[in-house]
Chain A
Amino acid sequence: MTAKDQKTFRSTLAVFFLASAAGAEVPAAPTAAPAPEPVAAAAEPSAPAPAADAPPPAETEAPAAAPEAASPEAAPAQGSGPEPAEPTKARVHVVAAPAAKAPPPPPPEPVVLGDAAGRFELGLGLDLSFLGDEEYDLFSTSDVLPQAALRAGLTVWRAGRWSVLAMAAGQYGGTGSSARGTPTHIDLGRVLLGAEVRGHVLSGLVGYGRLLAGAALVASRVGQAGAADTLALSTGAFSAGGTLGAAARLYGSKNGPSRSFRLEAYLEGGYDFVPEIGLVYAAGPDGPSRPEPLDLGVLSASGGRFGLGLQGSY
């Protein structure tokens, strides 16, 4: 492939990626192209055979001699030997100089469902936890706790369009309010481990279910931040959660098992379980002398969750 061909191929590939990111189908280039990469061995049998769709490799005839030597005057120089040979009629192939050909079009993207084992994924999003417990009103005028969600996963098993990821996830959110004139605040963080099962239902769309369990850390205060008489609590608890969701490809190859970068948007819902947390606050050492704890009941931080975000994988 000449340098010019390579440049043309890269341009075409860039257009493909951009169009793919926008969700547009990219027609196969009409020009001849090199043979496509071999399809992964585990390609879905039902998937269209990329080899069948791909055009055959282009055949080019290599010139026997430099095309520039096709001049009659140059012929005697050929075939001279020790014996004077009978003059022969020079056999001249007139080969037209190859015209400048269009670069070979990129092969059409093979559509293969599934992920390759070893694919690593990183997701970042926003979770809205719905906490209907009355005690949560101490901290918020609504029943929503917004949380930042970060998760990382590794595909550990694949069978056809199904795959399983080992996953670690973290959530952190906080909210504050004023309860009868007293500032209040709560922070809730969770670190969870578990697994996610994925089903690649369509090209570019994957559904998943996830089960995670781990630890939750709750930190809260009643009173002005930094004030001597502010009451605080910090406690940990077991936490678990289940999630159902779907992710749609925004960018990346249709060929799921191929090792290339893929960007997806996800939308999910689930339920988080956190055991009831006793809201028992204690004063700091600089506060009033010999303070008794302030018991404001029990907070149930369990509840439904709704989340969205982006996840990238390679």
Chain B
Amino acid sequence: MIDLRSTSYWPLSLMLLALPLACGERTERYSAPLDVVDTVSLRGTVALHDHGLRRLSFLTSPGPFELGLESNSAPENVQQLLPSADRQRLFVLSAGVDPRLSPEDEGPQLLVFDGAPESEVADRLLKRFVLDDPMKNLAIDPRGRWVAAFGGYSSLVNPNELVLLDLEESNEVDGTPVATTIRSFGGAPIELAFTDELDVPRGGARRFLIVRTDRDVTLLDLEHLDRPEVTLVLSEKPDEVPPPPLQVVYDDGDPEDSGDAMLAVRLGASSDVVLATFGEPDTEGKDYSMKVNIVDVGGVPSFIDFVRTDGGRRLAALVPTLSDAVLVDPGSTVTEVVDLPAPFSAMRRITAALSEVPEGGDVALLWGSGSSIAFWSLGSTSSTPYRSVSTAQLSFAVTEVQDVPSPNQHLKVLRGASPDVFVLDLESRQSFPLESQLSSGATTVSPDGQRLWVYQDGSSRFSAVELPELHPRSLFVSPNVSSVHDIERADGGRSAVVLHRSNGLSATVFDASEPSSSETAFFPGLHLRSE
């Protein structure tokens, strides 16, 4: 007979020994936390950056009430996730593995993904730029050719180094970054902006990269990156810290005149505005020289822009402390003051949004801290400045003006601290209130210009407003709304993808053209799906 007294614990011991062998590591797909998920609306997809899973997914809508999911591994240590101006592409700037101890460790890079409803390239990857060192910020060319990375991420950073990435350099996926360091006068880049083509006295029209630091402005010739940059030092005394430049605007001037392209710089806490003209070069080998003028506009301006008036090109400066607008003739630096009915602090030219371009000058929309807006007709400014401004009263102070794409570009969506929304018709110069029952609200204008989506994060009710009829449709969805994305379908139609963040990540798909709560499709568990 077997004496079990000494072996009675063997089975249990064996079982306990077997348990560790059975405890394999759980797949990250289910163990990763679900915390931040960044979303970016693109033309035909919604990009989701799942921080916990380090996954970059693209939600598409192949057909009505359909939702597709394409997932890729996100690059390591994503710093920026930005769409192109036309929402055709997604730019992902990453810092890579830190510290990078083996050649297999992923390095810093910029990836460019396709935002089309159906991508013809593998993993949607259009371009990849491998960077030598991690960068923190991106500036994106609104015309789609350039991307600039700046601002370091390492323990030792050259703050004045810019890495330029030419998206049209070749058809190869792997691109070549071009690094350049601008001269430093004690500052570091804060903002980069790509200009349109500016005609200069020699060498023809070209585009520039404007680098705004905390004390000067630098111009980089994008056609000749090998040439030294031009810096506008905004102080006359070398040991004096100038007021910081807050805004830089540019204008090409007369297309027939290659010597009138101009920059204007608004300074902080200063009534001076700097005008810089691309004049004839003063030395051989240069294509232009910057001629600088300083104009006092009477008070600290809050906004500047070049405008066309019946008297020609002017630099308009809004001085809210005086409730004035000042028009500066850039040639003579003569100023003309236009009294405004309210202290407007922001402005946008709306001439291009009108079906009939007014003769003689631009039309600008003004808004500020008050609850009124104004249309400023610059075509009648010089002769009858007091008649050039017409106002409209709103129920709140405007903080944001959203453009509506064609064919309803004559509409503007006005937002403020109130959940209410105003839709402004620039043609009729009328504003239409949309009263909201939400405590706060977000608005998304559809890229086709046909709809306005009004929703609140965490609410089950949201609305679609048909444009230009302003016909609202109240919609209900469960779980609650997190965000609304109006994307192009693969079949050419449009779908509204409503994302939900309660109990994981899920989505409800509407037909964006005819949204109805009774015709939807709900897609649960997006955070658990692999494809």
- Where the two chains meet, the residues of A that have a C-beta atom closer than 8 Å to any C-beta of B are 20, 22-23, 25, 128, 130, 132, 134, 137-138, 140-144, 177, 179-182, 202-205, 222-224, 227, 229, 231, 248-250, 254, 265, 267, 281, 283, 287-292, 294-297, 306, 308
Contacts and interface: CB of A to CB of B under 8 A. Distances in A.
Contact of A137 (B22, B27, B67, B522): B27
Given A128-B22, A288-B479, A294-B525, 14 more contacts: A137-B26, A141-B31, A142-B22, A143-B24, A144-B22, A182-B525, A202-B2, A223-B503, A229-B503, A249-B1, A267-B10, A288-B522, A289-B517, A294-B524
Contact of A23 (B4, B32, B479, B521): B4
B154 to A, nearest CB: 32
The 6 tightest CB contacts between A and B, nearest first, are A179-B30, A288-B522, A294-B525, A308-B11, A291-B522, A180-B34
- The dominant DSSP class at the B interface is loop
A288 B524 contact: yes
B522 A290 contact: yes
A194 to B, nearest CB: 23
Contacts of A265: 4, 11
B177 to A, nearest CB: 36
17 contacts: A137-B26, A143-B23, A181-B33, A181-B504, A202-B2, A203-B1, A204-B2, A205-B2, A224-B503, A227-B503, A229-B478, A267-B10, A267-B14, A288-B478, A290-B520, A292-B524, A296-B525
B18 A25 contact: no
B27 A128 contact: no
Contacts of B2: 23, 202, 204-205, 248-249
A290 B523 CA distance: 9
Contacts of B508: 288
Contacts of B14: 267, 306
Contacts of A134: 27, 29
Nearest to A145: B22
B153 to A, nearest CB: 28
A296 B26 contact: no
Contacts of A308: 11-12, 15
B226 interface: no
Nearest to A228: B478
A272 to B, nearest CB: 14
Given A202-B2, A267-B11, A179 B528 contact: yes
Given A249-B1, A308-B15, A180 B527 contact: yes
A194 B5 CA distance: 33
Contacts of A294: 523-525, 528-529
B204 to A, nearest CB: 56
A118 B104 CA distance: 67
A22 B478 contact: no
B156 interface: no
Contacts of A250: 4
B4 A289 contact: no
Contacts of A267: 10-11, 14
B461 to A, nearest CB: 14
Contacts of B503: 182, 223-224, 227, 229
Interface string B282-323: 000000000000000000000000000000000000000000
B407 interface: no
Contact of B3 (A23, A128, A177): A23
Contacts of B30: 137-138, 177, 179-180
Given A181-B504, A248-B2, A288-B508, A142 B24 contact: yes
Interface string B25-50: 01101111110000000000000000
A223 B528 CA distance: 12
B122 interface: no
B136 to A, nearest CB: 29
B144 interface: no
Contacts of A140: 26
Contact of A222 (B23, B67, B528): B528
Given A130-B22, A179-B30, A267-B11, A231 B4 contact: no
A287 B522 CA distance: 10
